[in-house]
Amino acid sequence: MRLTCKQAAALLSQGLDRKLSPWERTRLRLHLLACDACRNFVKQIEFIRRAIRRVADRG
Amino acid sequence: MTVHQTEIAQIEQHCPYLVRYAMLQLRNASVAQDVVQDTLAAALGGLARFAGHSPMKTWLTGILKHKIIDHHRRAAREQPLTDDETRSEGEAADALFREDGHWDVPPNHWGDPERALDNKRFLEALEKCTQLLPAKTARVFMMRDVMQLETSDICKELGISATHCWVMLHRARLALRECLQNTWFGKP
């Protein structure tokens, strides 16, 4: 049931690429409640996605 | 003088943008130039079909994306992923975590990163970080996060499994996050 940060980070990343199952989402939610680092991580990879689109749109 | 002179002039105007876009995706000036030339040739050939329904830039970018995907597809066929590359990248990603699955250095808060989006120097730093990614990882990451293709389409084009695709995307994001942390957000 419990996710390590390594597992959580992989799932958070996959959340940008596929629809996570309800079970995966529940486990992630519990992990994020307890983990600042992974909360920062997901915000940062979403930010990187916005930023790289900005890089591409420049010019 | 043909009837299309205006459109041709407009196409020319977008060339620097197209080259930049292709460079970001392909990371090789001569390949980028070839792909943009193919794009311009296709655009000129298709001018009759361009009815001005969408902005010229959007239309041209659409053609360019197809040309880039064609290039990636050919490249993936000619140089499939080697186990060595996959292994060393996997090791780099694993090194970010401790044995027990905790972060080695936990990601800290980046404050208000949105402000950086308008900072030219930040965008350059990010572009530099993408250039450090292994070529094949960069290819998958660009197809997904910039070109916004579905992973199922990327798998099909590159002949890789969905799981492999997710792993590569995750490694790209871990590496880019790490690079931005070191070169931008973590700087004193």
Q: Cβ of B33: how many Cβ atoms within 10 Å?
A: 14
* Cβ neighbours of B110 in A, within 8 Å: 40, 43-44, 47
- Helix, strand and coil percent figures for chain A, each rounded to 5: 75, 0, 25
Among B97, B186, B126, which Cα is nearest to A35's?
B97
CATH 1.10.10.10 positions along chain B are 83-185
What count of residues does chain A have?
59
Q: Is B107 on the interface with A (CB under 8 A)?
A: yes
In which band, very low, low, confident or very high, does the pLDDT at B2 lie, cut at 50, 70 and 90? low
CATH topology of domain B83-185: Arc Repressor Mutant, subunit A (1.10.10)
Q: Examine the pLDDT at B135 and tell me if it is beyond 90.
A: no
Place of tokens 């296709």: B42
Residue B80 banded pLDDT, cuts 50, 70, 90: low
Binned at pLDDT 50, 70 and 90, residue B84 comes out as: low
Indicate the pLDDT class of residue B7, thresholds 50, 70 and 90.
confident
b/e burial code for range B102-127 (CB count within 10 A of at least 16 → b):
ebeeebeebeebeebeeeeebbebbb
| pLDDT bracket for residue B44 (50, 70, 90) | confident
Torsion angle of alpha carbons B166, B136, B144, B66, nearest 10°? -140
Kindly list the distances between the CA atom of residue A49 and the CA atoms of A52, B74, B130, B170, in Å, as whole numbers in the listed order: 5, 26, 12, 12
Residue of B nearest to A18 (CA): B151
Residue ranges, comma separated, of all CATH 1.10.1740.10 domains in chain B are 5-78
Question: Which of A12, A13, A21 should we substitute to test contact with B (largest number of B Cβ atoms within 10 Å)?
Answer: A13
Q: Does domain B5-78 have CATH number 1.10.1740.10?
A: yes
Which of A6, A44, A49 lies closest to B145 in CB terms?
Answer: A49
Residue A11 C-alpha from the chain's centroid: 7
DSSP string, B9-61: HHHHHHHHHHHHHHHHHH--HHHHHHHHHHHHHHHHHTGGG--SSS-HHHHHH
Mean pLDDT of all residues belonging to chain B = 88
Nearest-CA distance from A27 to chain B in Å? 15
The CA angle A15-A17-A21, to the nearest 5 degrees, is: 45
pLDDT at A28: 96
Phi-psi group of B52: left, alpha or beta (phi > 0 → left; psi -120 to 50 → alpha; rest → beta): left
- Does A7 contact B at CB distance below 8 Å? yes
Per-residue confidence at B27, pLDDT binned at 50, 70, 90? confident
B88 pLDDT band (50/70/90 cuts)? confident
Lowest mean pLDDT: which of B93-97, B120-124, B125-129?
B93-97
User: CA B87 to CA B11: how far, in whole Å?
Assistant: 44
What value of ipTM does the predicted structure carry? 0.96
More confident residue, B105 or B76: B105
Read off the pLDDT band of A59 (50, 70, 90): low
pLDDT per residue as tens digits for the range A4-53: 999 999 999 999 999 999 999 999 999 999 999 999 999 999 999 999 99
Nearest CA to CA, how far is A25 from chain B (Å)? Answer: 17
Res. B1: pLDDT tops 60: no
pLDDT at A54: 93
Residue of B4 and B115 predicted with greater confidence: B115
What one-character DSSP code corresponds to residue B117?
G
Predicted confidence at residue B74, as pLDDT, reads 87
E-strand stretches of B34-136 = none
pLDDT at A57: 85
Interface test with A, best of B23, B103, B120 (most A CBs within 10 A): B103
